[in-house]
Structure 1
Amino acid sequence: MDELAEGALKGILRFLGLIIRALIWLIYEFLFEKIAWYIGWPICRLITLNSLPSERITESEQASNLTNFVVSMTGLISLVALGAVITQLTGSA
């Protein structure tokens, strides 16, 4: 009887592990690669006086890994900074 319960528990844990892995992948794919790119792209264009990145905003798949990383990190950092500013302004800290 203990073996049945142990086998069922292992099956449930494997299933939960798959769900967690899928959620992590979705968060990375959607947040970092899409939302952060669309926020970071205009900021990078503004900072570099409309010269970098050379790809259009809809061409994130054609960008190099370094360009993709820099633009997405710029977008992610600006989101975090905006959140910090809003928190300070509303006095929620």
Structure 2
Amino acid sequence: MDSVLEELAKGFFRGLVFVVVEIVFGKVCYLLGWPVCKLLSFGKYPSANQPVPSKSNNRQSYWCSFAGMVVLLAGITYVLLVNT
């Protein structure tokens, strides 16, 4: 009985982590990185005109999300350093 509950808990937490990562990295970081990518590439990338992540997992979406993660981490670091 303990192993069944343990496996259910593992599955629940894996699903929870997946949802959090999908929301934070896929949505929030993309929306933060989209204008950065547009500025750095002079409007060329990402090729879509709308600031929403595409359903296809292409490299442009990942790079925009990565740029957003860098912006997010830089902002958090700045806030933490200024308040100390």
TM-score calculated relative to the size of structure 2: 0.88
Partner of 1:57: 51
Alpha-carbon spacing, 1:67–1:38, altered in 2? closer, same or farther (3 Å): same
Runs of 4+ that moved beyond 6 A: none
2:64 aligned residue (59, 71, 87): 71
Instruction: From the superposition, tell whether residues 15 and 38 of structure 1 become closer, same or farther in structure 2 (CA, over 3 Å).
Output: same
On the 8 A contact 2:26/2:53 being kept in 1, the answer is no
Report the identity percentage: 22
Which is greater in Rg? Answer: 1
Structure 1 residue 61: Cα displacement: 1.9
Number of the residue aligned with 2:15: 22
Q: CA deviation at 1:9?
A: 0.8
**RMSD value over aligned CA atoms?**
1.4
CA contact (8 A) 2:34 2:46 kept: yes
Instruction: Please tell me whether residue 82 in structure 1 is matched to residue 62 in structure 2.
Output: no
